[in-house]
Chain A
Amino acid sequence: MREYRFERPGTVTEAVRRSGSDTAYLAGGTTLVDLMKLEVMTPGRVLDINRLPLRGLDATGGGLRIGALERMTDVAADPRVRLGYPMLSQALELSASGQLRNMASIGGNLLQRTRCGYFRDVSMPCNKRQPGSGCPAIRGENRMHAVLGTSDSCVATHPSDLAVALAALDARVQLQGRDGVRTVNLCDFYLLPADTPHLEHDLRPGELVTGVIVPRLDWAQRSIYLKIRDRQSYEFALSSAAVAIRREGDTIVEARVAVGGMGTRPWRLPAVERALAGRPATSNTYAAAATATVDGTRPLRHNAFKPELMQRTLIRALLELEQTR
């Protein structure tokens, strides 16, 4: 690990003022410490933000507000999340391990880095880590990589489960920087790689994530996060689906659909949502809607199975959702 100075700013304002291009904020450390050991991240200063007042989960008339430093375990267990937004609880509980969920924060989760093996190996080229050096994944090992939103520069998947569920819920990210506070839609917060894969977020230098807002959605009570993995537990998603359905009788009135393991960022599927709305809640409807997922997919040598897996994941999520309540 490279040397760094360790600092503990006392207030949010001070944290933001002290932060610069050579600094990294430290929350749970489950991404940062790992990547500093690998020398993929080499900040000269580490700012420990754990004692800043960025905790708390508030349920207001307008929805939920989750402080950036809330831990994954606590958010997943909160009855307001568990009952009101089951897909959020499930996405969190199906992530990582019990130990890691105790450590990892909501803000850090959204900013975790890709698990692309070339990105994590400093002896390899990688456009995301070292702009212009090339992308060995495009012709190399790419089974876990993305089929949506890719470019000729980078095909890395975004690994967060939570972000997929939040994308389906139209969540917004609260930010504080030297120029004040602002709020951005989670889906816009994540940038497509295009020819600048090293730029991953709409995050200005030194800006701090202070919280996440989940707008109120009463029918999210009927929602699910389904995760398909190479092993039963403790593994990143090969494919996942976050689905919420509003039904009147046997008819689907509205739907929210996002998928994980597929895109370079959490991927909302408005075409599928439209294909579900106004239709009877039957397996025929699900199968027909799922075909809309494959639009624009760009499979690679080892992940050509992903578009079909995405359809099946979605259909199974819709069928399982029928069984709830």
Chain B
Amino acid sequence: MTQYEGITRRGMLGLVGAAAATVPLDSGAAGAQAASGEVTVRMTVNGSATSLTVDPRVTLLDALRERLQLTGTKKGCDRGQCGACTVHVDGRRVVSCLTLLATLDGASVTTIEGLADGDRLHPLQQAFIEHDGFQCGFCTPGQIMSAAAVIAEGGARTDAEIREQMSGNICRCSAYPGILAAIRQARTEMR
């Protein structure tokens, strides 16, 4: 309901590029904002410098999918409950559906599209294929981004630890045994 309201009132919650003049948030001690209410955010996404001007309600998830066409990051619950939207902000895994883009000025974001090394799959991507770590694949980008952070932090030492650390990523197809096996394999390859 709100979504439709947003579309008529502000053009898809401000996802459509703003014509109005805007100023960056940090200009002036007070953190100024254009009369239009839109905010400009400069950040790095998968290594490329990016600048976006958006309605302050826009989440990182919607900005990635609707403005930057990075649709690998999935919208599951949109309420912080499923983990499908997991990305890395400044090297830490977060849920992008509860992250407001407006807070990310100066941040560095990595999504599933930024994980492979050119045509060479990331060890986790390869391991998910080899171990059937998915069925429908909807939760997979979130699973892989989450697992990449868990392994990097050294939090995947035992099966119990992997299960606990990965509990924020729900898989409706219940591909958990394959996911666990894939993480176990990638853990050794990423060392």
Contact = CB atoms under 8 A, between A and B. Distances in A.
A7 B93 contact: no
B139 to A, nearest CB: 13
Contacts of B46: none
B80 A5 contact: no
B95 A100 contact: yes
| Interface size grouping (class) on chain A | 20 to 34
Interface string B149-164: 1100001000000011
A37 interface: yes
Contacts of B6: 1
B167 A233 contact: yes
A3 B6 CA distance: 9
Interface stretch (A26-34, A173-181, A188-196, A296-304): A26-34
A73 B93 CA distance: 11
Contacts of A34: 79-80, 98
B102 interface: yes
B181 interface: no
Contacts of A4: 56-57
Interface in A12-65: 14, 18, 26, 29-30, 33-34, 36-37, 39, 46, 48, 50
Contact of A14 (B30, B79, B150, B168): B30
B1 to A, nearest CB: 9
Contact of A99 (B30, B39, B55, B146): B146
Contacts of B57: 1, 3-4, 36
Contact of B31 (A1, A9, A103): A9
A14 B99 contact: no
Given A29-B99, A96-B168, A98-B150, A39 B2 contact: yes
Given A39-B2, A233-B163, A33 B168 contact: no
B29 interface: yes
Contacts of B55: 3
A9 B30 contact: yes
Top 8 closest pairs, chain A to chain B, by CB? A97-B168, A8-B31, A6-B56, A233-B167, A234-B167, A10-B29, A102-B92, A33-B98
21 contacts: A1-B2, A1-B13, A4-B57, A5-B37, A6-B56, A6-B100, A7-B30, A8-B26, A29-B103, A30-B98, A33-B59, A33-B100, A37-B79, A48-B102, A98-B149, A99-B93, A99-B168, A100-B168, A102-B94, A103-B99, A233-B164
Given A26-B100, A102-B92, 6 more contacts: A6-B33, A6-B102, A8-B31, A26-B103, A102-B94, A233-B164
